[in-house]
């Protein structure tokens, strides 16, 4: 008897490092990215429909603005790729309950795609290996493979060639969320514009960050956070500079625009410090809303 439905929980991510190489002839950039999966989750439920019904999608939850409920959703694109690869006809409804901010540099769309790969594999008993899942994920975007595994990892190439980072400890985060997203292509274009006269070298892993993660030294991790897209995100959204300054003024160990932004992630010493910073940011009036999270957590996994 086939399983009728499945729910997969998948986390958000923050970038502890995002180093961007020169623009290549294909328009892309080689990256070195250190990802950490954190405890803000989307739940993706896939229910089998009647034969011939095709694929439908609905979006619910706190973070739904601008999320497509059609073939443009990365979850639908994941289904399309798997259908071709495995000669599968998928008649199903996908319900995405969103808590991960949209267009916030936290891989919300990529997370949903990863959850869909895991869910379709489970629902249709495909028996996909981790390598086969990653192969599908890589075609969908540079963040999708990491959302399958979670934890803390180093991404190279376009961010999709992953190796686990040697990391110890639990890290506490306060996230300053924006009501309006930033376009990733626009941020990369601005980064290229700002660096047009500079000689850009191929990116490398930030050694101080890797040593700090291995030592579970949160203050050293905070000091080593780095994002080459941060200047571009701040150029397009100048208010982000004020958010970064306010968070550090109120005692954050480190502050970084996550990915292409506009979410700003503050590393704090512990849960109590996180609560204090969240209150301070909220009362400062420079932040739309805040969330608290910890990491690392596991990637996409079946919960029902």
Antiparallel, parallel or unpaired: β 152-157 and 55-61: unpaired
Contact 5, 139 (CB under 8 A): no
- Per-residue HEC secondary structure of 144-187 comes to HHHHHHECEEEEEECCCEEEECCCCCCEEEEEEECCCCCCHHHH
At 121, is the secondary structure helix, strand, or coil?
helix
Phi-psi region of 178 (alpha: psi -120 to 50; beta: other; left: phi over 0): beta
Q: What angle do CA 101, 139, 38 make, to 5 degrees?
A: 30
Contact 49, 58 (CB under 8 A): no
Check the CA dihedral 236-241-242-247 and report its sign. Answer: positive
Backbone angles phi, psi at 277, to 5 degrees: -70, -40
DSSP annotation string for 216-250? T-HHHHHHH-EETTHHHHHHH-THHHHHHHHHHHT
Contacts of 168 (CB under 8 A, 6+ apart): 213, 214, 215, 216
Catalytic one among 112, 121, 143, 160? 143
Catalytic one among 13, 77, 97, 98? 13
CA 167 to chain centroid, in Å, comes to 18
143 is catalytic: yes
Cα separations (Å) of 301 from 29, 120, 149, 171, 304? 30, 12, 9, 21, 9
Q: Which two tokens stand for residue 135?
A: 């192969």
Which residues have a catalytic role annotated? 13, 143
């Amino acid at each position: 008897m086939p399983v009728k439905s499945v729910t997969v929980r998948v986390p958000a991510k923050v970038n502890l490092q995002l180093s961007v190489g020169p623009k290549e002839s294909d328009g892309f950039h080689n990256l070195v990215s250190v990802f950490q999966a954190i405890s803000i989750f989307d739940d993706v439920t896939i229910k089998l429909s009647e034969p011939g019904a095709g694929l439908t999608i609905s979006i619910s939850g706190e973070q739904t603005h601008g999320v497509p409920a059609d073939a443009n959703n990365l979850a639908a694109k994941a289904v399309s790729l798997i259908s071709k690869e495995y000669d599968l006809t998928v008649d199903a409804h996908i319900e995405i309950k969103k808590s991960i901010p949209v267009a916030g540099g936290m891989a919300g769309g990529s997370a949903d795609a990863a959850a869909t790969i895991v869910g379709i594999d489970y629902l249709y008993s495909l028996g996909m290996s981790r390598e086969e899942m990653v192969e599908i994920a890589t075609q969908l975007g540079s963040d999708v493979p990491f959302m399958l595994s979670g934890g803390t990892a180093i991404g190279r190439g376009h961010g999709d060639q992953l190796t686990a980072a040697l990391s110890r400890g639990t890290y506490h985060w306060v996230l300053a969320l924006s009501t309006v997203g930033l376009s990733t292509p626009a941020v990369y274009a601005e980064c290229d514009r700002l660096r047009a006269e500079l000689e850009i070298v191929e990116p490398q892993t930030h050694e101080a960050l890797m040593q700090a993660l291995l030592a579970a030294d949160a203050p050293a991790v905070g000091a080593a956070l780095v994002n080459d897209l941060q200047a571009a995100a701040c150029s397009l959204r100048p208010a982000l500079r004020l958010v970064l300054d306010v968070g550090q003024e109120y005692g954050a160990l480190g502050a970084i625009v996550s990915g292409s932004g506009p979410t700003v992630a503050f590393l704090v010493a512990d849960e109590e410090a996180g609560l204090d910073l969240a209150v301070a940011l909220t009362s400062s009036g420079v932040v739309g809303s805040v969330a608290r999270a910890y990491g690392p957590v596991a990637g996409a996994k079946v919960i029902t």
